[in-house]
């Protein structure tokens, strides 16, 4: 089976691989005599301008000479993206969102990945708990960087508790080894009240800051708790007071890092600012948004893009009547941007409707976790105008399906208007407002 994963699925027309005579169905065996075990080997060994690809076709082997620019993709896609099985998580984290899912949802939602290759290729976070010595050394030898690491705490015993894995403390040693080897690390701390907040958070930030500049950035995120926690570790959500003190703590430590090391390193997620009732910082604070995909600075970037687009926007003859359905946490920001646009274009007629998360529980207030059934239940019977807009984060990547398997088509039939996914950029939002 492993060999089938190395089988070429497609060859991009006009690519270096096609020019070298490679075809779909060929099986890649080695590059420059080195066996290709997975996608990391493929990317690393094929980096140079010239490479010798040894492949198998119809039971016979031959070598094709690939000529391209250094770092250019050779143009191959394989039957499996990783050319190897995806590695699952070996932990039982006390805050794991997957464990807080209700039964009966699609099987893929219950799979927990913890794969260093996906961290490098797609930006997912890993815990380092399922990496053997050979895998650790391969990351160092191949200079796989950057890597995203879920740290949570630098205390080995506490990390074992939080990750539900007696070997989780070893991940701290691997983190330090990667830093010594010059691997760039972006980290995250899922902050759980009573476990790794307060003094423990301060100790964790101090120890991580000593690994700078290899520890390039670190986000601090409030734990997300659904209503499906029966039998799980007792955790409490952030309230406004704790969110406020945590933001102040992280900002103060970040200021010290900025003076000593030239970077804040530590950033709170937008969610913590919203829970604290604070405005998000200005754009310069985020230092180029190193943790954007982790929810750090997304609202500031949205506002900046929106304001820039608004300066040059031509006004509509009439505003389109429509609804933007979003999470409770983001509704205030979107309403503020709409009112800003109305100062220039009074004809805007878009309503912002926050959707309460009855499916997962009302402590979950982000737009990306709104289900189709909550959307339908709370919009049905309202005057929705010409259409309903939603963020594409509500849908499964590349598909038109919500988390609860309700489809866009189902929602449109139930609501009687088109339901239109939109990107999360400020320019896109202004276009929606202007119709």
- pLDDT of amino acid 171: 94
Query: For residues 95 and 144, what is the distance between their CA atoms, to the nearest angstrom?
Result: 28
Tell me how far the alpha carbon of residue 365 is from its chain's centroid: 17
**Can you name the CATH fold of 303-434?**
Rossmann fold (3.40.50)
The mean of the pLDDT values for the chain is: 90
Q: Distance between CA atoms of 293 and 305, rounded to whole angstroms?
A: 16
CATH 3.40.50 spans which residues of the chain? 303-434
Structure tokens at 147: 């890597």
Q: Is the per-residue pLDDT at 156 higher than 70?
A: yes
With beta carbons less than 8 A apart as the criterion, state whether 106 and 94 touch: no
What three-state secondary structure class fits 391?
strand
Beta bridge partners of residue 401, listed in sequence order: 407
Which ranges in the chain are annotated with CATH 3.80.30?
A: 98-295
CB atoms within 10 A of CB 288: 10
Q: What local confidence, expressed as pLDDT, does residue 280 receive?
A: 95
Q: How confident is the model at residue 2 (pLDDT cuts 50, 70, 90)?
A: very low
- C-alpha dihedral sign at 296, 299, 302, 303: negative
CB 16 within 8 A of CB 66: yes
Cα(98)–Cα(86) distance, integer angstroms: 17
Largest distance between two CA atoms of the chain: 71
The model's pLDDT over 228-271, given as tens digits with 9 standing for 90+, comes to 998 999 999 999 999 999 999 999 999 999 999 999 999 999 99
Q: CB-based burial of residue 117 (10 Å sphere; 0-12 exposed, 13-18 middle, 19+ buried)?
A: buried
Is the pLDDT higher at 423 or at 2? 423
Q: What is the pTM of this model?
A: 0.84
Region 98-295: CATH code? 3.80.30
Q: Across 2-156, where does the E strand assignment appear?
A: 8-11, 27-31, 34-35, 50-57, 60-67, 76-78, 147-150
Structure tokens at 392: 């594409």
The CA distance from 371 to 352, in Å, is 17
Contact 114, 191 (CB under 8 A): no
Which residue spans of the chain are classified as CATH 2.30.42.10? Answer: 2-78
The CATH number of 2-78 is 2.30.42.10
Task: Give the tens place of pLDDT for each residue, 183-212.
Answer: 999 999 999 999 999 999 999 999 999 999
Contact status, residue 207 vs residue 173, Cβ threshold 8 Å:
no
Whether residue 121 has pLDDT greater than 70: no
């Amino acid at each position: 089976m492993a060999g089938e994963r190395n089988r070429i699925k497609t060859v991009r027309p006009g690519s270096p691989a096609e020019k070298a005579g490679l075809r779909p169905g060929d099986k890649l065996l080695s590059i420059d005599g080195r066996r290709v075990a997975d996608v990391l080997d493929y990317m690393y060994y094929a980096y140079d301008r010239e490479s010798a690809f040894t492949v198998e076709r119809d039971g016979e082997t031959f070598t094709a000479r690939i000529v391209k620019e250094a770092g250019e993709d050779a143009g191959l896609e394989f039957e499996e993206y990783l050319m190897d099985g995806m590695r699952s998580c070996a932990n039982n984290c006390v805050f794991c969102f997957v464990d807080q899912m209700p039964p009966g949802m699609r099987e893929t939602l219950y799979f927990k990945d913890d794969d260093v290759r996906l961290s490098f290729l797609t930006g997912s976070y890993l815990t380092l708990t399922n990496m053997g010595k050979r895998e650790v050394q391969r990351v160092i030898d191949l200079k796989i960087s950057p890597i995203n690491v879920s740290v949570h705490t630098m205390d080995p015993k506490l990390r074992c508790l939080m990750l539900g894995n007696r070997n989780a403390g070893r991940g701290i040693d691997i983190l330090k080894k990667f830093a010594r080897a010059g691997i760039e690390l972006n980290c995250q701390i899922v902050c759980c009240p009573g476990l790794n907040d307060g003094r423990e958070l301060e100790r964790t930030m101090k120890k991580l800051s000593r690994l700078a500049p290899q520890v390039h950035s670190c986000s601090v995120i409030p734990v997300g708790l659904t209503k499906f926690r029966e039998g799980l570790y007792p955790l409490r959500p952030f309230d406004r007071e704790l969110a406020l003190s945590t933001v102040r703590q992280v900002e103060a430590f970040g200021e010290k890092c900025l003076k000593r090391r030239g970077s804040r390193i530590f950033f709170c997620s937008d969610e913590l600012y919203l829970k604290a009732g604070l405005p998000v910082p200005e754009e310069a604070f985020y230092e180029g948004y190193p943790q954007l995909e982790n929810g750090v600075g997304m609202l500031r970037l949205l506002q900046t893009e929106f304001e820039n687009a608004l300066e040059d926007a031509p006004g509509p003859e009439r505003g389109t009547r429509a609804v933007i359905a979003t999470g409770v946490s983001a509704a205030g920001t979107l309403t503020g941007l709409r009112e800003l646009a109305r100062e220039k274009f009074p004809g805007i007629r878009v309503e912002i409707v926050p959707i309460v998360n009855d499916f997962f529980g009302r402590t979950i207030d982000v737009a990306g976790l709104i289900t189709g059934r909550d959307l339908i239940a709370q919009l049905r019977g309202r005057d929705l105008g010409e259409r309903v807009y939603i963020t594409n984060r509500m849908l499964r990547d590349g598909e038109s399906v919500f988390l609860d398997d309700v489809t866009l088509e189902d929602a449109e039939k139930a609501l009687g208007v088109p339901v239109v996914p939109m990107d999360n950029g400020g320019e896109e939002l202004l276009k929606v407002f202007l119709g």
